[in-house]
Amino acid sequence: MLRQRSSRLAALLAGAVNAGWAAAAVREQLNTAPGDKVQELTLQQLSVALSAYVASSMQPPARVLQQVSQRLEQVLHKEFNADDITTALNSLAFFGHQASETLIEAIRASLARTYFAEITPVQLGTLMLAIAELGHRNHKLLSAVAREVVDRVDDFGPVELSEIMWSFAVLGHRHERMVDVVTQSLLFRLSDMPVASMSQLVCAFAVLKHKDAVTDVFLDAVSDEALKKVEAFEAGDMANMMWAYASLGHWSYVDADLISAVTARMLRVHKELNASSMVNVVWALAKTDYAGNANRRTRTLLDNIAKSAMSQMECFTPEQLSRLLWAFSTLHHWHEELYDAVAAETLLQVNSFLPCHLADMVSAYAHMVHHPGPLLDQMTHRILPKLDTMDAGALCSVLWAHGVLQTLTPDLFDKVCQTLETKSLGEFKPHDFERAFHAELLLEADLESKKREDFRKLPKWIRQYAYRAWQDRIYFDRNVTWFQQEVVSDQMFCHLSGSLVSYSTSTSTQSLPKPLTGVTYMSLIELGVNFELEKFLADGCHTVDIVLRIPGKPRLGINMDPPQRFSSNRPYRPLAEAVCQRRLLAAQGWEMITLPQHEWRRNVSQKERAVYLEKLLDCSLEDSHDSLKRITNDSDASAACRKAALQAAAAAARAAQLQEHG
């Protein structure tokens, strides 16, 4: 009976080889065949047998997979066919079977025995992809393949080279010589390279973290070629390529035309993106120089991706959810429905998240000033027992986020600070110190408003560095002011600055007004408002851009918020930076008038901006039953003096420009 069943299986497989298999029949015979009979099958028959299972999409018994894998090791010592072994390996990988190291070693020995003479470049490329799918890294095999590629690189086409490079990347094997040879060879063959292979190769560079001068030249050439072929890219390939460029830090060197073309292409194919590709796209956009200042096309793309992501939320892994939220917050893109959907999905998977991913998420929610509801307590509960596994940056982010969301307690602050104290100085970045100090200021202000007890501050050595980093942030603001387009020239404003300062009633040391904020100062002067420029408060921790000298309002100021402090799309929500600044200044008794970019730029002319400022000031004076006109009702002579001073300064600026240009 056993002999009859074995011969039936052999006959069926032989017929399948010649005329295509009957998948169900092969599967039935193989499931019931005794183990010793499976060991009699040839390499070709094994390949066909596994393919029968793949064709029927049915998982074979573990016993069958193990027997087939063992038989493959045996036959490889006698025969080798690249197509058959590739099919067999792909089938094993398809069913998640962990092939043994001895099987991969048998493949290496077969290749070495034939000196690669029996395998073509195309077959080698597909074989290496199959080995990469199994995840076994055999250094001898990879070194032998690398030598073969280096010696015969001109025999390999762009597709095969990209496949081999990708297999090395998946297996985490760096071979610098092979990478250099492949890069130099393909640099002059990019026009013949399919876009899918182009994306695959660039992703291999990113996974291997390989970047040098030659790679930079190659990436520039790829970007030029990609711009010509942008419409040929599939959505997934384009997303992967964007991720690779961002991972390699090469977005800064990419021409703006390519980024624009890629964004336009993504707008047309975004519905084809899966969860991983969506994350790659938004993460790559967040790594560009345009983060926080996205154009209309990018904002539309982000809205579309947000809608697609919400419909596939259950497909995202914990890490992908974290990266998705981080990217949207880094891009300052407000989409309340997406943030709530991510919170709901994270709540279901919260026990699967690593503490570092949860720290990124709570920081992202805080940056957008959006409370994630019950998720926040769950994330904190998950983070607290694992504080010692988190780096200094993640710990500082947790403190800062809770401070922004007004959920920071003295107990939580103390627990995190105890862990921070165990970290070395080298683990901190200036940004980490800033966040830690910011959290302390926010907690202090919150406790004072509630008239509660004092709390333990940051550890002494950390506080020293944090205070210094905070002052650097105050004095050397990273956000360059956004009035650049409104000023004719820096030279003209230098002439105007003397007149502007003369109208400040303060006799303290003045810092000259920044050239980029000149129009605002000129508008205040035209309104007849006395003011002081850029006042640093006594504690050295806060600054007010413009202090207004209005009777009855000793602490009234204007802060000119740059676009980075608001969401990049409507309704232009103030972000954590703006909200916390107002909260901290309010705790010191300051009433602030906010001058945001999106409102300021609606008023084009100088007259419109003066009217806009007047309305803001009148609104702030309503409580005191006063008005700007009554406060600034000075003599006609004073008004004439102001006007004459401005005219003289403008004339001097024009004269200086004429003299400079000859």
- Read off the DSSP letter of residue 588: T
| Higher per-residue pLDDT: 649 or 352 | 352
- What angle in degrees, to the nearest 10, is found between the helix axes of 392-404 and 355-367? 40
Instruction: Give residue 614's pLDDT.
Output: 83
Instruction: Give CA–CA dist 386/486, Å, rounded.
Output: 51
Instruction: Give residue 367's pLDDT.
Output: 97
Q: Measured between alpha carbons, how far is residue 44 from residues 72, 301, 488 in Å? A: 10, 49, 78
- The fraction of the chain above a pLDDT of 90, given in percent, is 48
Burial-class residue 307 by CB neighbours within 10 Å (0-12, 13-18, 19+). middle
Label residue 247 by pLDDT band (50, 70, 90).
Answer: very high
Instruction: Give residue 24's pLDDT.
Output: 56
Which residue's entry shows tokens 């040839």? 42
Residue 595 has pLDDT above 60, yes or no: yes
Q: Measured between alpha carbons, how far is residue 403 from residues 537, 590, 610 in Å? A: 22, 20, 36
**pLDDT tens-digit readout, 173-210:** 999 999 999 999 999 999 999 999 999 999 999 999 99
Instruction: Give residue 315's pLDDT.
Output: 96
**pLDDT tens-digit readout, 9-33:** 344 344 443 334 445 555 565 666 5
Q: Report which secondary-structure segment, H or E, holds 467.
A: helix 460-475
**Mean confidence (pLDDT) of the chain:** 81
Instruction: Give residue 384's pLDDT.
Output: 96
Mean pLDDT, residues 285-300 = 76
Residue 630 has pLDDT above 70, yes or no: no
Mean pLDDT, residues 232-260 = 86
- The fraction of the chain above a pLDDT of 70, given in percent, is 80
Residue 658 has pLDDT above 60, yes or no: no
Instruction: Give residue 497's pLDDT.
Output: 38
Residue 279 has pLDDT above 90, yes or no: yes
Instruction: Give residue 644's pLDDT.
Output: 54
Highest mean pLDDT among 72-86, 245-259, 395-409, 597-611: 395-409
Residue 115 has pLDDT above 60, yes or no: yes
Instruction: Give residue 31's pLDDT.
Output: 65
Instruction: Give residue 42's pLDDT.
Output: 83
Q: Using alpha carbons, select from 474, 478, 394 the residue that is nearest to residue 441.
A: 474
546 beta partners: 533, 558
106-110, 486-490, 519-523, 603-607: range with lowest mean pLDDT: 486-490
Instruction: Give residue 513's pLDDT.
Output: 38
Instruction: Give residue 628's pLDDT.
Output: 57
Residue 591 has pLDDT above 80, yes or no: yes
Cβ neighbours for 634, distance < 8 A, ≥ 6 positions apart: 528
The vertex-253 CA angle with 250 and 255, nearest 5°, equals: 120
Mean pLDDT, residues 342-367 = 97
Its pTM stands at: 0.82
Q: Check: CB of residue 540 under 8 Å from CB of residue 458.
A: no
